[in-house]
Structure 1
Amino acid sequence: MRLLRRVTAASALVAAVALAGCTTPTEDPPESPKPSAAPVFASEEEALAAAEEAYTAYLAMSDEIATGGGKDPERMRGLVTADQFEEEIASFAMYSERALRLSGSSSFRNFRLQQLHQEGGRVDIAAYACLDVSGTRLVDEEGQDKTPNPRPDLVPLELRFENAGAPPKLLLAASDVWEGGGVC
């Protein structure tokens, strides 16, 4: 019985190969459209404005989640890249683990373009910003201030954004403290 199955399987394989060789060639499939050579953003100013808008949305959602004690951090999806999302989840976990929440809201200023790279439909933007957390406090469940003291009220950041398809939507890909100074 095993021999019959092997022979049958081998016969089916030989028949499939033979039939494949007997088919008439078809026309070549149409080529995939090539990525547009036109840049996504017409100017550095337009790219910077889009990055600033993306960071504004990110910061508002970040404050909202932190104000809620880190609950529902998945709301960050669509505002950050997949890698950055994992960092956000870990950061918000601190709020629930320590029973803390944010009081107040953050802001930023001095948003500046560091670098713009556009190729095909891909965009990478690096920018500097001065994060202002002077209007925020960390509080516990009783409302007691648990803000670290001392804490810098102004934090210079280097931010990186990537686009997420068409139409272009910038996502925050990285947010790091910038040691270069000068932006705050």
Structure 2
Amino acid sequence: MRIAALALVSAAALVLVGCTPAPHPTSSPKPTATPVFRTDAEALAAAEKAYRAYEAAVDESLTLANDRGLSQVATAQALKASMESISKFKSSGRRQVGKSIVEHVRPANLSSLLGSRPTGAQIYACLDVSAVLIVDAQGNDTSVSGRETVYPTLVTLQWKRSRLLVSDESVWDGANFCH
């Protein structure tokens, strides 16, 4: 009988413990911010993908004389410069034939992509335009003969609308890392 009474008291104690309110924390738990990119390799891959998308959009725009898709891949100075180029091509009756190729991408500065609030990045890339021709309204090649066909570029990207957009692209004025 004594064992039965102890079991009943133990069961009652367990029920009561389950019914007592949990203590309220003095401060709310802070959510831990997850980085958008965990490694330099992830950040570089995303920056390269964004730059390739930008160059593809510029190629298409110069081919069709239409700037429709540029705002999806570019912002700031890159968007402005691209739209101006397309406007000049369109008014002169020129268009691009062929596509550029992005090669040898490497990091310049990826550190601001590795936190929970990325802001931007810079990469180096070689832009190969050897397969690109500029033609006039009659289809005649107006490309400059003997022109440089591979350009070392410094590309700046900004984190906007939860993705990377090209904000500036310039020919690198340091040592040519493409040759």
TM-score interval, smaller chain: 0.7 to 0.9
Distance 1:35 1:111 in 2: 35
Aligned to 1:106: 100
Cα separation, partners in 2 of 1:102 and 1:50, compared to 1, 3 Å? same
Q: Which secondary structure does the structure 1 equivalent of 2:36 belong to?
A: coil
1:28-74 C-alpha deviation (Å, 9 max, x unpaired)? xxxxxx99654321011000000111111111111111111x22x13
2:136–2:142 Cα contact (<8 Å) kept:
yes
Structure 1 range deviating more: 80-89 or 101-110: 80-89
The reply to whether residue 169 of structure 1 matches residue 159 of structure 2 is no
Q: 1:138 is matched with which residue: 134, 137, 153?
A: 134
The Cα shift of 1:98 comes to 1.4
Aligned to 1:5: none
1:35–1:121 Cα contact (<8 Å) kept:
no
Aligned to 2:43: 47
Q: Which secondary structure does the structure 2 equivalent of 1:179 belong to?
A: coil
- Amino acid paired to 2:135: V
Distance 2:104 2:165 in 1: 19
The Cα shift of 1:182 comes to 3.7
1:53-111 C-alpha deviation (Å, 9 max, x unpaired)? 1111111111111111x22x132012011443222111111211211011111102110
2:50–2:164 Cα contact (<8 Å) kept:
yes
The reply to whether residue 77 of structure 1 matches residue 71 of structure 2 is yes
For normalisation by structure 1, the TM-score amounts to: 0.73
Counting aligned pairs with the same residue, the percent is 33
Aligned to 1:158: 154
Distance 2:107 2:77 in 1: 22
Distance 1:35 1:108 in 2: 39
Aligned to 1:8: none
Unaligned runs of 5+ in 1: 1-33
Cα separation, partners in 2 of 1:137 and 1:97, compared to 1, 3 Å? same
Unaligned runs of 5+ in 2: 1-29
1:159–1:174 Cα contact (<8 Å) kept:
yes
Distance 2:48 2:120 in 1: 14
Cα separation, partners in 2 of 1:36 and 1:143, compared to 1, 3 Å? farther
Q: Which secondary structure does the structure 2 equivalent of 1:90 belong to?
A: helix
Cα separation, partners in 2 of 1:85 and 1:38, compared to 1, 3 Å? same
Which has more radius of gyration?
2
For normalisation by structure 2, the TM-score amounts to: 0.75
Give the RMSD, CA atoms, in angstroms: 1.9
Alignment of 1:29-68 (within 5 A): 37-68=33-64
Structure 1 range deviating more: 48-57 or 84-93: 84-93
2:126–2:152 Cα contact (<8 Å) kept:
yes
Q: Which secondary structure does the structure 2 equivalent of 1:114 belong to?
A: strand
1:110–1:129 Cα contact (<8 Å) kept:
yes
Size of the alignment, in residue pairs?
Answer: 147
